[in-house]
């Protein structure tokens, strides 16, 4: 027996684009509206070493942890999920969505210009021991890949916008709660 759809909004993009910051803002906006969201940072779900040679970004671990966390979030009353992290392919999206029974997944890609992206990475500089040049190169590579092989359902530009404005634009473009026919409210 299938249960109600579980709306999941994946917020993707290269490092430094603001995925986690925007996800937190959306979380707050949903809570303020009386909704019951859960929030996950996919990178943190895979923060485990060693990683398998055939899964260098530990995506299988992230998906398993997403499924386990969803069970706990659901038991606590959450009705939807915001997931911030790099989602590079429809297969990757499907792997994450398959971890949550009855997932109704929507993938948003955040975008910013290369100069702004590099400035954000250098400005935050919070990655302990991170090679910021390497991270900036990876962000530029991913940004170019996303432009070339976009797998997102929609894209939201972040240049010149504050976080609240970007979050509102994501929610408006996604229309994810309405399209599932499920309210995120309990």
Q: Read off the tokens for 143.
A: 């940004």
Q: What is the rounded distance in angstroms from the CA atom of residue 150 to the CA atom of residue 89? A: 8
| Whether residue 28 has pLDDT greater than 50 | yes
Q: Which residues pair with 103 in a beta bridge?
A: 6
**Residue 2 pLDDT:** 63
Tell me: pLDDT of 180 over 80: no
The full set of domain ranges for the chain reads 6-178
CB 164 within 8 A of CB 20: no
77 has pLDDT over 80: yes
pTM of the model: 0.87
What is the per-residue pLDDT for 127?
A: 53
With 70 as the cut, is the pLDDT of residue 177 above it? no
Mean pLDDT (whole number) for 103-114: 91
pLDDT score, position 178: 60
Q: 35-62: per-residue pLDDT in tens?
A: 999 999 999 999 989 989 999 889 999 9
Give the pLDDT mean for 119-143: 71
pLDDT value of residue 1:
39
Distances (CA, A) of 82 to 1, 97, 149, 163: 25, 12, 23, 16
| 6-178 classified as CATH 1.10.260.40 | no
Label residue 8 by pLDDT band (50, 70, 90): very high
- Nearest by Cα to 180 from 2, 3, 7, 1: 7
Pairwise CA distance, residues 75 & 70, whole Å: 8
A 10 A CB-CB count for 30 gives 22
Check whether 125 has a pLDDT greater than 80: no
Q: What is the pLDDT of residue 30?
A: 93
């Amino acid at each position: 027996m299938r249960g109600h759809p579980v709306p999941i909004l994946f917020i993707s993009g290269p490092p430094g684009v603001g995925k986690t910051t925007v996800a937190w803002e959306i979380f707050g906006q949903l809570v303020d509206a009386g909704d019951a969201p859960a929030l996950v940072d996919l990178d943190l779900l895979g923060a485990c070493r060693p990683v398998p040679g055939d899964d260098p970004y530990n995506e299988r671990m992230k998906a398993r942890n997403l499924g386990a966390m969803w069970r706990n979030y659901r038991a606590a009353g959450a009705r939807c999920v915001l997931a911030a992290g790099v989602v590079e392919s429809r297969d990757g999206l499907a792997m994450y969505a398959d971890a949550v029974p009855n997932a109704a997944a929507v993938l948003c890609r955040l975008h910013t210009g290369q100069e702004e992206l590099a400035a954000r990475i250098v400005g935050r500089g919070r990655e302990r021991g991170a090679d910021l040049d390497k991270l900036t190169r990876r962000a530029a590579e991913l940004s170019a890949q996303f432009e070339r092989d976009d797998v997102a359902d929609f894209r939201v530009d972040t240049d010149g916008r504050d976080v609240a404005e970007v979050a509102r634009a994501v929610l408006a473009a996604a229309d994810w709660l309405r399209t599932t026919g499920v309210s995120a409210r309990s």
